[in-house]
Amino acid sequence: MAFGRDGVEHTSDDCKFTSTSGPYINNLISAVGNGTTAPSGYSSYPRGGHAEDKCTQNSGDSPINLPAGNWWISCSSGLTVKNSFTVGSPSTVVFQGGLTISSSGSVSIGDTAGNSVVYFRHGPFQKDAQASLSLRRTMVYLNADGDNNYIDFGAGSGTLTWTGPIGGNFDALTLWSESAHQHNFGGQASMSVDGVFFIPNATFSFTGQSSQDNTANAQFIINNLSMSGQGILRMQPNPDRLVNLPAWGAALIR
């Protein structure tokens, strides 16, 4: 953002790169908005004339495959996926409500063809323990909507692949969340994450199960970290895919 946490321009916590890089998050919010209608130039899901398009997809329903483009998921109470939901790349996907990937459901947004953005206006981003999620070269933005926007990924036999964009305005930025609600991140049977997770106002809670050994090639900028369970989380950020933080120096605490 152009301004720092105080929301006031020309103070000490302003972004020092604004003059050369631009306020990309501010621009994204201005373009997408937080209203109740589709952003300009976006196609709507559910699509007219597609009986298979539903806001609550059951396990026996047809898989959904949306082509690359700008999509507004107009499910005000959130989209629930119990089969398969795929969006091509590059795309910008705006969720009016939240997203829940239930039981053995699978969601895939983005691939190696280009960068994508997922924007949550309202509602949580949830994945059950057995569900699968793939976000490749994709930045996720969670609007600071009171206590309603947060991540909740269950720990279990599911899989998670989440890599940040390569190049562009959101290079290496995997998640931007200003919500103060606790974000829960469970260990997975298979997990591959990359980039920067920016959660400055909330507690990030990792829960692992026995025999789980997850490695995160990612940087976490968070308010608090909570660890529980018997799993292992190895944080090994790629030095080419992180934010260099200012050196605050050291002091002896007596």
The residue to which tokens 């990792």 are assigned: 206
Residue pLDDT, tens place only, 32-42: 988 899 999 99
CB-neighbour burial class of residue 158 (10 A; exposed 0-12, middle 13-18, buried 19+): buried
Mean pLDDT taken over the chain: 85
Asked if 200 contacts 221 with a C-beta cutoff of 8 angstroms, the reply is yes
Which pLDDT score is estimated for 254? Answer: 41
Give the C-alpha distances (Å, rounded to integers) separating 167 from 4, 35, 195, 198, 234: 23, 29, 12, 18, 26
The closest of 178, 45, 159 to 101, measured between CA atoms, is: 159
Which pLDDT score is estimated for 146? Answer: 59
Give the C-alpha distances (Å, rounded to integers) separating 134 from 63, 169, 191: 15, 21, 10
The residue to which tokens 């700008």 are assigned: 70
Which 8-state DSSP code applies to residue 46? S
Q: Model-level pTM? A: 0.85
How large is the C-alpha radius of gyration of the chain? 18
